Amino acid sequence: MPIQSVQAIILRKDDFRDTSFLLNCYTDRLGKIKGIIKGVKGYPFKYGSPLEIMTLNALVVYERHRSDLGLIGQVDLMDDFGGVRRDPKKTAFGAYFVEIVDRFTAFGDPHPDIFHLLRNALRALRETQRYVFLTHVFEVRLLKSLGILPHVNRCGGCMGYDVEPVTFDVAKGNVYCHTCSSPVYNGIATTRHACSGIQAITDGAMEGDFSVALLERLYERSGENRDAVRMIRRFIDYHLDFPLKSIPVIRQFYREGVET
């Protein structure tokens, strides 16, 4: 039974029998893992962590042969991203970050860049007021890390780079110029400005400098671009089997006009 020491962000927590929990965690070295932690229900101080989602913890995990379910033997809190849980808007957007990572990633497929992206996005969330823009940047960079970011720098029909995009196909993740857009059945309108905004977010480092300072630099380059936000949001919605639980809450904040 190999023993692994990892840093992990808790994505999901479910009851398991009378005294235990099942945790989905995204780790720095193992990717997403599922583990059982025994005998903690009713004993919140048994380990040095409250075992809440959106917390960063140091875990000792005992991997089981012929099973994807590990045994978590030790948990120590490293960062609870203080300030996020005390603000209902930040809590809602943070819950969306961990839920979308849980939904789009597979067990046992390591992506250290996704771990760093999620950790640093939660750190930025506690400091910034640009909730919508931060979420947009997070979505774009997550899709890029997963290798499924839409192609917005060329027409998906004629493959031309120096063309004016007019339609975005949410199923294929391609943009199309006026000449090539007629056969697109899952299309929404787009603009060169929206595509340029998405492209600007993908440039540069992917993990280490994801901070409020980087967020402000990106905001200066691409600005508030609701067409770009809508493109990525529709693409994600199309490729989900069923809606995320956190979506209705953050959409309510969108309608109330939270700071972007």
Q: Answer yes or no: do 96 and 203 share one domain.
A: yes
**pLDDT (mean) for 85-103:** 93
Q: What is the pLDDT of residues 127-142, one digit of tens each?
A: 888 888 889 999 999 9
- pLDDT computed for residue 30 by the predictor: 94
Last residue of a domain, one of 79, 109, 140: 79
Q: Answer yes or no: do 242 and 136 share one domain.
A: yes
84 in a structural domain? no
132 in a structural domain? yes
Q: What is the pLDDT of residues 36-56, one digit of tens each?
A: 998 777 665 566 678 899 999
In terms of C-beta density within 10 A (0-12 exposed, 13-18 middle, 19 or more buried), how is residue 90 classed? buried
Q: Answer yes or no: do 70 and 126 share one domain.
A: no
| Separation in Å, CA 258 to CA 3, 55, 81, 125, 247 | 44, 24, 21, 13, 15
Q: Answer yes or no: do 130 and 156 share one domain.
A: yes
Q: Which is higher by pLDDT, 104 or 208?
A: 104
Identify the domain containing residue 73 by its residue range: 3-79
Last residue of a domain, one of 79, 101, 127: 79
Confidence of residue 207 (pLDDT cuts 50, 70, 90): very low
The pTM assigned to this predicted structure is 0.90
Q: Answer yes or no: do 39 and 157 share one domain.
A: no
CB 72 within 8 A of CB 22: no
Q: Is the pLDDT of residue 222 over 70?
A: no
Q: Answer yes or no: do 125 and 70 share one domain.
A: no
Residues with Cβ within 8 Å of residue 127, at least 6 apart in sequence: 83, 212
Q: Answer yes or no: do 117 and 20 share one domain.
A: no
At 251, which CATH number? 1.20.1440.120
Last residue of a domain, one of 60, 79, 98: 79
- pLDDT computed for residue 224 by the predictor: 58
User: What's the distance, Cα to Cα, between the start and end of the chain in Å?
Assistant: 48
Q: Is the pLDDT of residue 150 over 90?
A: yes
Q: Answer yes or no: do 60 and 93 share one domain.
A: no
- pLDDT computed for residue 209 by the predictor: 57
- pLDDT computed for residue 208 by the predictor: 47
Q: Answer yes or no: do 51 and 148 share one domain.
A: no
How many domains does the chain divide into?
2
Q: Answer yes or no: do 167 and 248 share one domain.
A: yes
230 in a structural domain? yes
At 73, which CATH number? 2.40.50.140
Picking from 87, 214, 84, 78, the residue whose alpha carbon sits closest to that of residue 138 is: 214
- pLDDT computed for residue 2 by the predictor: 83
